[in-house]
Amino acid sequence: MKLVAIVGTNAAFSYNRILLHYMQQHFEKIAEIEVCEINELPPFCEDLPVKKESKIMELAYKITKADGVVFACPEYDHSIPAPLKSAIEWLSYEIDPLKQKPVLIVGASYGPQGSSRAQQHLRQILASPDANANVLPGNEFLLGNVAQVFDKEGQLGDQQAIKQLNSCFNEFLSYIRILQADAREDKSFNSVKNPFFSDATVQFPTGKLKLLEIQQLLSTLPFELDFIDADDEFAWFSDKAQREHVRSVDDLGEPVKDCHPPQAVPAVLKILSDFRSGAKDRVERCFIAQGHPIYTQYLAVRDSSNKYLGTLEITSNVEHLKNLLETGAFSSEAGSVKAASQSTKESKENEADAVTGASQHDGSWDDTSSSGSMHG
């Protein structure tokens, strides 16, 4: 389970920050928690284009990719801190990473009530139409008298508080699983085992295929495919095992900018713009991922009248091809050896035919032959 934990203040010292780092360490065996700060976000202003604010878009991207969000909320004057309100304004203005996102609220304060009034206010804000988050109901973690319960190493010493935190956090993980199961049920399809209309066929100029055959053919290809439609929304991906770019059905229908890391968005949008305008039809990218050479092609998809339909992204791990090249598999000498071997084989078969009067050829073909064909 991957979670983003947001420190709800820009103060240099905060027990709420300490609480989140404690949770990060305490729950590391059951969840991966990334603690995120809001102290570098600009104050909210409608006049500033949110999509050009890199820190905001980076935080939004992390939230989008996470399974859930934890807010650690201090209490200032019976409410939440102004920087936290500003951050939520950014995250619900022209972008919606919090939409339907599971959220857990925790809070620590010097007083005995543990930021209870601020948490209640935060619940109302996150339930607003623009934020529209799924806040865990019926569970509160209110850590009061916080200066006495943390030691100098940031460890929580109150056993009752630890027990309550464990219970609240486990409820949150269960809540996430329930929401994810509901989302999968709403999708109401399994692209591998039960594609729609599996017995229907599609007639192509070069033949016809059943939809089930098309589905499995696309899954069998030794490279992965992604399709971005003409509206720049992520429309489809092939369900190839062990993909280089991990995709989820939750990404379908999302703007392409929300499906890429922030630093990659400008380059991707430039490719789509060039394809749409007709300036380009193909772009190549080569990079190293986890020690493997990756080759990606972006291809403009157009209809017979040259109308832009979308972009096909083809990605492949080319380690095998690289090894073949390095071992001389494509050299002219290697080709001569294979051709000579094939010639010798055919010569022997012809000799057998001459002696017996019956061909020993069983209809198979050598895949190294340049003329091998099922119809030959």
The pLDDT of residue 343: 52
Rounded Cα distance, 225 and 215, in Å = 12
Homologous superfamily of 2-187 in CATH?
Answer: Flavodoxin domain (3.40.50.360)
| Crossing angle for the helix pair 15-26 and 159-187, to the nearest 10 degrees | 70
Q: Is the pLDDT of residue 365 over 80?
A: no
Name the DSSP letter for residue 42. P
Per-residue pLDDT tens for 75-127? 988 899 999 999 999 999 989 999 999 999 999 988 887 788 999 999 999 99
Q: How many residues does the chain have?
A: 376
Question: What is the C-alpha separation between 286 and 264, in angstroms, rounded?
Answer: 14
Instruction: Kindly indicate whether the domain formed by 221-323 is annotated with CATH number 3.30.450.20.
Output: yes
pLDDT score at 219: 83
CA distance 34 to 6: 8
Residues forming beta bridges with residue 308, ordered by sequence position: 302
Are the C-beta atoms of 221 and 237 separated by less than 8 Å? no
Q: Choose among 53, 34, 66, 43: nearest CA to 133.
A: 66
Q: Are 229 and 308 in contact (CB under 8 A)?
A: no
Segment 16-35 shows an average pLDDT of 95
Cα(94)–Cα(133) distance, integer angstroms: 15
Span(s) in the chain for CATH 3.40.50.360: 2-187
1 has a pLDDT exceeding 70 = yes
**Structural Rg of the chain based on CA atoms:** 29
State the CB neighbour count (10 A cutoff) for residue 252: 14
For residue 171, give the nearest of 138, 143, 126, 144 by alpha carbon: 138
Q: What are phi and psi of 276, to 5 degrees?
A: -65, -40
Query: What does the pLDDT average to over 156-161?
Result: 92
Q: What is the pLDDT of residues 178-226, one digit of tens each?
A: 988 877 665 544 444 455 545 677 888 899 888 778 888 888 899 999 9
Q: Where in the chain is the domain with CATH 3.30.450.20?
A: 221-323
Task: Match 């993909």 to its residue by tokens.
Answer: 243
The mean pLDDT value of the chain amounts to 83
What pLDDT score does 31 carry? 94
pTM: 0.53
> Please, which pLDDT band fits residue 242 given cuts at 50, 70 and 90?
confident
Local structure of residue 44 (DSSP, 8 states) = P
**pLDDT digit string, tens, across residues 271-312:** 999 999 999 999 999 989 878 899 999 999 999 899 999 999
Looking at residue 185, what is its pLDDT? 63
pLDDT at 22 over 70: yes
Spatial separation of the C-alpha atoms in residues 291 and 305, rounded to whole Å: 42
Q: For residue range 326-356, what is the model confidence (pLDDT) as tens digits? A: 898 888 765 554 554 555 445 544 444 433 3
What was the pLDDT predicted at 189?
A: 46
Q: What is the SS3 assignment for 33?
A: strand
